[in-house]
Chains A and B, each alone.
Chain A
Amino acid sequence: MQPATPKGPSDFDTFIKGLWKENPVMVQLLGCCPVLAVTISMRNALAMGLATTFVLVCSNILIASIRRFVPKQVRIAVYILVIATFVTIVDYAIKAISVDVYKALGAFIALIVVNCMILGRAEAFASKNTVWKSLLDGIGMGVGFTFALVCLGSVREILGSGRLFGIDLFGPRFEPWGIFAAPSGGFLVFGGWLLFFGWLQARKQARLQGDAK
């Protein structure tokens, strides 16, 4: 290893890129299954976001600290075992904290193991960077993931059941828009957000090109 890398991205860049520029869900399309499955309500979305962030940060730290001792051939197996260990911890922690949330998330807590975002960060970032950088990267990506969950969860809960965090917003005369709570609503809302972010990106590029001229 080189003694410090002054040319590399700053700590702040490492942290902030997961939020927007390299958002794991909206830009890289990683870990889409929980994004679609648990976002019927904000409570579930936040719980899932926190659980995934915890697993991501812990596994990033551990993988970054053992990265020099893991032989290249078995690294994927080692990463998956590390992730599975932390997911087991989260699984039991959520069961102990709130049985309601545990029942609502169901098998999707166990399925954090196969969230490609976590394995992707382990392979692409934590296995090549210091513990401190990996910690920042994990937090940034985790917050970005939670942000995407909240984007979907808010739209689907407000339109699908007229509530936010379980509090009625529109009074008794509101007719819930059932399709948004149904599975197809998940696809439609997610697709809508992706189109929106794609449009923002296209507009920004068009403006940059206009400035260049």
Chain B
Amino acid sequence: MNATSLPFLFVDALLINNFVLSVFLGICPFLGVSNKFDTAWRMGVAVIFVTFVSSLFAYGVNAILVQWNAEYLRIIAYITIIASTVQLVEMFIKKTSPALFRALGIYLPLITTNCAVLGVAMFQTLRDYSLAQSLVFSVGSGLGFTLALVLISGIRERLDLADVPAVIKGAGFVLIIAGILSMSFMGFAGLGAGE
């Protein structure tokens, strides 16, 4: 597979370089929101949407900044885009689906400080992706984030029933599980390596 072809980019962001388990982006929600399966996948869907929209806007704004020779404004511009996208999504969900809005609760505004979202915007700029590549990359990473979140929340729900020694309960334990999960994701590194 060609390293810049759209299917490869998608699989790469989803599995090979999974945003949470290989690139370490979005660890805070990964640790904070992952104790219930229900909230985990809802959070994931919201992140996919925000990533997609902000990636689209970031591409456009970057083109304008480059034209004006104002690349130094990039970080400020991107974070403003993400904050306003989150605000828009919040208003939109509140209007169309109050039930989902209540379910997401505090996690919705917190997406602003989710490094995965800014990470997508920065990576697509650093790697000079075209518009189509950026969008595929953003959906792939959003799905990868959701996948990791859903996997770990499933494991954590089972662990609530297991007999775990009191000393190792807590965040350290979750990180060890994440380490093992990440080790198993290393197996995907071979994907797309052969031409």
A interface residues with partner B (beta carbon < 8 Å): 29-34, 36-37, 76-77, 80-81, 84-85, 87-88, 91-92, 106-107, 110-111, 113-116, 119, 179, 182-188, 190-195, 198-199, 202
User: How many angstroms from the CA of A74 to the CA of B50 in the assembled complex?
Assistant: 21
Does any Cβ of A come within 8 Å of B72's Cβ?
A: yes
A33 engages B28 (CB within 8 Å) = yes
A110 CB contacts on chain B under 8 angstroms: 74-75, 78, 118, 122
Partner of B182, one of A37, A88, A183, A195: A183
Instruction: List chain A residues, Cβ under 8 A from B78.
Output: 110
Are B28 and A185 within 8 A (Cβ)? no
* A116 close to B113 (CB less than 8 A): yes
B24, A113: Cβ atoms under 8 Å?
A: no
Question: Chain B interface (Cβ within 8 Å of chain A)?
Answer: 21-28, 31, 72-76, 78-80, 83, 112-115, 117-119, 122-123, 126, 167-168, 170-176, 178-180, 182-183, 185-186
Specify which of A33, A80, A87, A88 is in contact with B24 (CB 8 Å cutoff). Answer: A33
12 contacts between A and B (CB under 8 A): A80-B83, A80-B112, A84-B75, A91-B75, A111-B119, A113-B79, A183-B22, A186-B24, A191-B175, A195-B168, A195-B172, A198-B167
Partner of A107, one of B80, B123, B182, B186: B123
Classify the interface of chain A: helix, strand, loop or mixed: helix
Q: Given the interface contacts A184-B180, A198-B172, does A119 sit within 8 Å of B75 by beta carbon?
A: no
Within the complex, what minimum Cβ distance (angstroms) separates A108 from chain B? 9
Task: Decide: B79 and A36 in contact? CB cutoff 8 A.
Answer: no
Contact yes or no, B27 A32, CB < 8 A = yes
Q: Which residues of B contact A185 (CB under 8 A)?
A: 179
> Do B126 and A106 touch (CB < 8 A)?
yes
Known contacts A30-B28, A110-B118, then 15 further A-B pairs from the complex at CB < 8 Å, ordered by chain A residue:
A37-B24, A81-B80, A88-B73, A110-B74, A110-B75, A111-B115, A114-B79, A114-B115, A183-B24, A183-B186, A184-B180, A187-B176, A187-B182, A192-B176, A194-B172
Contact A33 B79 (CB under 8 A): no
**Complex Cα gap A116–B114 (Å):** 8
Q: Assuming A113-B118, A114-B113, A183-B22, is B126 touching A84 (CB within 8 A)?
A: no
**In the bound complex, what is the Cα–Cα distance between A183 and B179 (angstroms)?**
8
How far, in Å, is A44 (CB) from chain B's closest CB?
13
State A186–B168 Cα separation when bound (angstroms): 18
Q: Which residues of B contact A106 (CB under 8 A)?
A: 126
Q: Within the assembled complex, what's the spacing in Å between the Cα atoms of A46 and B83?
A: 30
A107 lies within 8 A of B126 (CB)? yes
Q: Is the CB of B76 within 8 A of A179?
A: no
Residues in B neighbouring A29, C-beta threshold 8 A: 28, 31, 171
What CA separation (Å) do A147 and B173 show in the bound complex?
21
Q: Is the CB of A77 within 8 A of B83?
A: yes
The distance in angstroms between the C-alpha atoms of A144 and B189, with both chains bound, is: 35
Instruction: Point out which of B72, B78, B122 has the most chain A C-beta atoms below 10 A from its C-beta.
Output: B122
Is A33 within 8 A of B25, CB to CB?
Answer: yes
From A30, which residue of chain B is reached at the shortest CB distance?
A: B28
| Bound CA span A152–B31, Å | 18
Contact: B183 with A33, CB < 8 Å?
no
